[in-house]
């Protein structure tokens, strides 16, 4: 597992990584005991300051008496070089102090660097830090959130802190980046995996977050969901369209976990009562993964969703998406006409955008100008100008599309037609010499016509512009590792036959469940499609504003329906009948 993150806005953070080994192990001696003893005694005052956040109550008494009442010369030295009662003792600076590994691990490296603080020790529910500016409420509050501990402060000159930070963090950072960077350590993959596992077993928030994200990527999750409840926290991954529960960290770690992700996403960790959006970019095995982070305050704390987008994901061909050869040929006949409207339809998460990307990728040539307008841009297409809508600035699909038309495009992809204005502009563009691609939320192919009519688009405009509609759903593929022939339950056979009219016969398969598929029996997904080519007969029916039932009846005479396609894929052992029933249980098969 090769994995590291970087903050997008502050690349300098990359040079600081958690690396406790450098500081740990060398530490010993009376000095440290004395040192932390003092810090603790100072801290008892600051602890209350940290909790009540009454700065006037922060009384900085750099006492030279440690918690056992012993005199401590080091404290005096550290706090301004006074000699006090410990006269004659060596003068010690922070550089000579050994910081225990557990203290180094307690706070994220980028956080301590940003705030110029250094964790000194963990003791009795308190984290002691060195800071040049004690009494900073924000810092105290942030540390309490990140660690769940009370905060004690010891004043140390900034220069000393920076020097010590470098000593504690930087040396191992380089090593860590080297270990984790795929270019730098191609041969060390096994070791990296081991390192990550070792790290993951350490009870630190940073490692926890890294592990959650790297596991999600490994398991091909599209989203990570973190939801707090009264005493528990829920951690789920969306894999192949379904949420799967993961063993959650304890609720005590919730605030720290959320804060850590917020730091990575450049969000405000102090704001916990309003929704926020952020963005993290990571490299995973040389692949760039963009993570869109959103928070929502619930009564038990902030819920968070991380959406993982693989920026340079491999584009699938129509056949890899699940279209057979015959229909692939029909599809490319339709989309390579010089102008017209082509629609992909289905509910959210049915893979229609992926299909359009695949089509654009295939039809793209440098002689054609392709412009897309999307919400948001999910994948980057080489050679294609991609424009995100910005509704907050009133840059919508409709007015974005108008501007695109002035850019002399040959092909336009509109992420989604949601309103009549966008529909009108898209159709007029299709009628004036452009190839227009878009998506609609409809259940089946002919439903697209009905939807456009409902939006108020004139029937003659639809009939003269619409070239084809590809309706689709995604079904999970049976896991290749644990696939086995499965007898058909009579109830399922009956249900499927009554739903779609297709005969359910032959040998069917299912997954027993194994490690490879997280015991689900499925791994990956494939599309089931119905491709409607708008021929002369269909154009006439659209012009006459016939009902969806009539359009459908006519369409089905020469078209493989989604249901028939699904049954074919079950017979071929790609998916299971149970899966088809699950996907069909909504509105697919009427």
Q: Which of 103, 401, 404, 479 binds Zn ion (CB under 5 A)?
A: 479
Beta carbon nearer to Zn ion, 481 or 554? 481
Residue nearest to Zn ion (CB): 479
482 binds Zn ion (CB under 5 A): yes
Shortest distance in whole angstroms from residue 336 CB to Zn ion: 39
Shortest distance in whole angstroms from residue 579 CB to Zn ion: 14
239 binds Zn ion (CB under 5 A): no
Shortest distance in whole angstroms from residue 518 CB to Zn ion: 8
Beta carbon nearer to Zn ion, 17 or 483? 483
Beta carbon nearer to Zn ion, 337 or 582? 582
Residues contacting residue 575 through CB under 8 Å, at least 6 positions apart: 475, 476, 477, 478, 526, 566, 569
Shortest distance in whole angstroms from residue 539 CB to Zn ion: 47
Give the span between the Cα atoms of 226 and 295, in whole angstroms.
9
| Binding residues for Zn ion restricted to 252-291, rule: CB under 5 A | none
Stretch that binds Zn ion, among 340-348, 385-393, 477-485, 555-563 (CB under 5 A): 477-485
Beta carbon nearer to Zn ion, 469 or 577? 577
DSSP H/E element including 221? strand 221-228
Beta carbon nearer to Zn ion, 505 or 516? 516
Shortest distance in whole angstroms from residue 482 CB to Zn ion: 3
Q: Specify whether the backbone of 285 is left (phi greater than 0), alpha (psi in -120 to 50) or beta.
A: left
According to DSSP, the β-strands at 301-310 and 221-228 are: antiparallel
Beta carbon nearer to Zn ion, 516 or 535? 516
517 binds Zn ion (CB under 5 A): yes
- Find out whether 108 and 205 touch, Cβ atoms under 8 Å: yes
Q: Which of 167, 481, 554, 556 binds Zn ion (CB under 5 A)?
A: 481
Give the span between the Cα atoms of 279 and 267, in whole angstroms.
8
Stretch that binds Zn ion, among 101-109, 363-371, 419-427, 505-513 (CB under 5 A): 505-513
Alpha helices in 55-202 (DSSP H): 73-78, 101-106, 109-115, 137-147, 158-165, 171-180, 189-200
Instruction: List, in sequence order, every beta strand (DSSP E) within 395-463.
Output: 411-414, 435-440
Q: What is the DSSP string of 338-358?
A: SSEEEEEE-STTSSHHHHHHH
282: which 2 tokens?
């990571």
- Find out whether 318 and 328 touch, Cβ atoms under 8 Å: yes
Q: What is the 3-state secondary structure (H, E, C) of 98-126?
A: CCCHHHHHHCCHHHHHHHCEEEEEEECCE
| Binding residues for Zn ion restricted to 447-476, rule: CB under 5 A | none
* Strand, coil or helix: 141: helix
Beta carbon nearer to Zn ion, 284 or 476? 476
DSSP H/E element including 566? helix 562-571
Beta carbon nearer to Zn ion, 399 or 481? 481
Picking from 124, 128, 103, the residue whose alpha carbon sits closest to that of residue 38 is 128
The radius of gyration computed from the CA coordinates of the chain, to the nearest angstrom, equals: 30
Q: Which of 53, 145, 455, 514 binds Zn ion (CB under 5 A)?
A: 514
Q: What is the DSSP string of 246-288?
A: EPPPPGGGHHHHHHHHHHHTT--SS--SS-EEEEEEEEETTEE
377 binds Zn ion (CB under 5 A): no
Stretch that binds Zn ion, among 272-280, 441-449, 517-525, 539-547 (CB under 5 A): 517-525
Beta carbon nearer to Zn ion, 55 or 484? 484
Shortest distance in whole angstroms from residue 542 CB to Zn ion: 45
Beta carbon nearer to Zn ion, 346 or 511? 511
Stretch that binds Zn ion, among 433-441, 482-490, 532-540, 580-588 (CB under 5 A): 482-490
Shortest distance in whole angstroms from residue 517 CB to Zn ion: 3
- Find out whether 504 and 453 touch, Cβ atoms under 8 Å: no
The count of residues interacting with Zn ion (CB under 5 A) is 7
Stretch that binds Zn ion, among 61-69, 432-440, 490-498, 506-514 (CB under 5 A): 506-514
Give the span between the Cα atoms of 564 and 457, in whole angstroms.
31
151 binds Zn ion (CB under 5 A): no
480 binds Zn ion (CB under 5 A): no
Give the span between the Cα atoms of 344 and 529, in whole angstroms.
10
Give the span between the Cα atoms of 238 and 225, in whole angstroms.
8
Beta carbon nearer to Zn ion, 4 or 509? 509
Q: Which of 505, 516, 535, 587 binds Zn ion (CB under 5 A)?
A: 516
Shortest distance in whole angstroms from residue 525 CB to Zn ion: 14
Beta carbon nearer to Zn ion, 201 or 519? 519
Shortest distance in whole angstroms from residue 512 CB to Zn ion: 7
Stretch that binds Zn ion, among 153-161, 379-387, 415-423, 507-515 (CB under 5 A): 507-515
Q: How many CB atoms lie within 10 A of CB 260?
A: 25
Residues that bind Zn ion (CB under 5 A): 479, 481-482, 511, 514, 516-517
């Amino acid at each position: 597992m090769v994995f590291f993150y970087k903050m997008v806005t502050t690349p300098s953070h990359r040079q600081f990584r958690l690396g406790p080994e450098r500081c740990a192990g060398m530490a010993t001696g009376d000095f440290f005991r004395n040192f932390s003893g003092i810090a603790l005694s100072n801290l008892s005052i600051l602890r209350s300051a940290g909790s009540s956040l009454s700065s006037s109550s922060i009384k900085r008494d750099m006492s030279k008496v440690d918690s056992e009442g012993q005199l401590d010369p080091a404290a005096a030295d550290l706090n301004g070089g006074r000699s006090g009662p410990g006269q004659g003792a060596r003068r010690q600076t922070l550089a000579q102090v050994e910081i225990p590994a557990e203290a180094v691990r307690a706070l994220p490296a980028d956080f301590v660097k940003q705030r110029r603080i250094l964790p000194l020790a963990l003791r009795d529910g308190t984290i002691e830090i060195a800071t040049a500016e004690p009494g900073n409420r924000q810092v105290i509050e942030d540390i309490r959130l990140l660690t769940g501990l009370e905060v004690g402060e010891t004043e140390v000159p900034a220069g000393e802190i920076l020097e010590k930070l470098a000593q504690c963090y930087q040396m191992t950072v380089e090593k860590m980046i080297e270990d984790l960077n795929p270019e730098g350590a191609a041969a060390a993959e096994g070791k990296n995996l081991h390192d990550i596992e070792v790290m993951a077993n350490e009870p630190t928030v940073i490692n926890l977050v890294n592990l959650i994200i790297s596991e999600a990527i490994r398991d091909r999750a599209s989203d990570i969901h973190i939801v707090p409840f009264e005493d528990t926290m829920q951690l789920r991954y969306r894999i192949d369209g379904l949420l799967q529960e993961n063993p959650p960290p304890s609720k005590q770690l919730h605030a720290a976990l959320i804060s850590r992700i917020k730091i990575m996403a450049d969000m405000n960790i102090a704001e916990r009562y309003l929704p926020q959006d952020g963005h993290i970019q990571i490299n995973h095995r040389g692949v760039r993964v963009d993570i869109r982070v959103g928070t929502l305050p619930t009564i038990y704390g902030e819920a968070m969703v991380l959406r993982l987008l693989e920026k340079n994901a491999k584009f699938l061909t129509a056949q890899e998406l699940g279209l057979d050869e015959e229909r692939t040929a029909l599809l490319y006949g339709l989309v390579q006409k010089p102008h017209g409207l082509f629609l992909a339809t289905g509910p959210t998460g049915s893979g229609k955008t992926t299909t359009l990307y695949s089509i654009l990728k295939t039809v793209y040539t440098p002689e054609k100008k392709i412009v897309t307008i999307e919400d948001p841009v999910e994948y980057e297409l080489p050679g294609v100008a991609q424009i995100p809508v910005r509704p907050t600035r009133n840059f919508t699909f409709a007015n974005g599309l108008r501007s695109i038309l002035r850019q002399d495009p040959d092909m336009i992809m509109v992420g989604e037609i949601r309103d009549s204005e966008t529909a009108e502009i898209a159709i007029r563009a299709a009628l004036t010499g452009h190839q227009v691609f878009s998506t609609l939320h409809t259940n089946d192919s002919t439903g697209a016509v009905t939807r456009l009519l409902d939006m108020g688009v004139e029937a003659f405009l639809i009939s003269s512009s619409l070239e084809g509609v590809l309706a689709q759903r995604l079904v999970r593929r049976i896991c290749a590792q644990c696939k086995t022939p499965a007898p058909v339950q009579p109830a399922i056979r009956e249900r499927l036959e009554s739903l779609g009219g297709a005969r359910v016969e032959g040998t069917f398969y299912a997954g027993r469940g194994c490690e490879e598929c997280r015991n689900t029996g499925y791994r990956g997904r494939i599309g089931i499609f119905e491709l409607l080519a708008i021929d002369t007969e269909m154009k006439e029916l659209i012009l006459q504003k016939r009902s969806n039932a009539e359009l459908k009846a006519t369409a089905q005479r020469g078209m493989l329906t989604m249901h028939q396609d699904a049954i074919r894929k079950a017979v071929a052992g790609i998916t299971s009948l149970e899966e088809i029933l699950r996907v069909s249980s909504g509105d697919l098969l009427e």
